[in-house]
Structure 1
């Protein structure tokens, strides 16, 4: 055991985050995401919600400041409301140490997001049920 590592972060996820290099992407996926289809590496956290996980991850994960949009969300259809969970993400990122690197989200259409996720270093599938709750983080440097 180590000190100050949040219990929500399994050892394999910590290892993967340490293995990731500059511009690699980490996807925190909702429970409906086709993670097994898209993932090179997958971690299942069936009892964890994305906001709790994001809050733990962002303490250790430097966001990429070489790109204008290191945080990407899946864009809902024009007829659907914006997901409420996005405001939680915005608040978590804003108060984090990475808050200065986070300006705003970028958005991708569903199929484009799926294609991009196929190149993610790791996908973490959670218990989150809210639609369009997926959030992709691009790793920066320290």
Structure 2
């Protein structure tokens, strides 16, 4: 254990967050996301929700303030303007935890999968709420 580090941040996840550079992206996904087969390393966090992992990651990682979309979620199929419960929770966490809060932007489902395939890593959680997926772009610490 380490002081002031959320215990949800496993050794593997801490390593990945530290190894990421400015502009690298990480996915926090729900339990239904194809995390193991989509491409990047998949870190399992089955005992945690996506919201818990998001809050833990934002406690140590800044969001990129040089782009308009440092936080992206998947649009609801057939209703791209809908805001699922998980996404509303993500926005609350970003507003309360991020060093520079931002409005979450959205991507069409297959565009989200394509973007996720090119990320640094995926953290697959036990999140059971639909659309509990978010891509974060790492910023810099001044």
TM-score between the two structures when normalised by the length of structure 2: 0.93
Q: Does 1:124 align with 2:123?
A: yes
2:27 equivalent in structure 1: 27
1:38 equivalent in structure 2: 38
Structure 1 residues 88-99: aligned runs within 5 Å:
88-98=89-99
- Please report how far the alpha carbon of residue 57 of structure 1 lies from its aligned counterpart in structure 2 after TM superposition: 0.8
Q: How many residues align?
A: 140
- Please report how far the alpha carbon of residue 79 of structure 1 lies from its aligned counterpart in structure 2 after TM superposition: 4.1
C-alpha change, 1:141 and 1:130, in structure 2 (3 Å) is same
TM-superposition CA deviations, 1:17-53 (whole Å, max 9, x none): 0000011001000000001111321101111101111
Q: Distance in 1 between matches of 2:135 and 2:93?
A: 14
The CA RMSD measured in Å over matched residues stands at: 1.4
Q: Distance in 2 between matches of 1:97 and 1:66?
A: 15
In structure 1, stretches of 5+ residues that fail to align are: none
Q: Distance in 1 between matches of 2:74 and 2:67?
A: 18
Q: Distance in 1 between matches of 2:102 and 2:126?
A: 27
Q: Distance in 1 between matches of 2:130 and 2:4?
A: 32
TM-score between the two structures when normalised by the length of structure 1: 0.93
The answer to whether the 8 A contact 2:72-2:107 is kept is: yes
- Please report how far the alpha carbon of residue 131 of structure 1 lies from its aligned counterpart in structure 2 after TM superposition: 1.2
In structure 2, stretches of 5+ residues that fail to align are: none
1:133 equivalent in structure 2: 132
Moved more, 40-49 or 81-90: 81-90
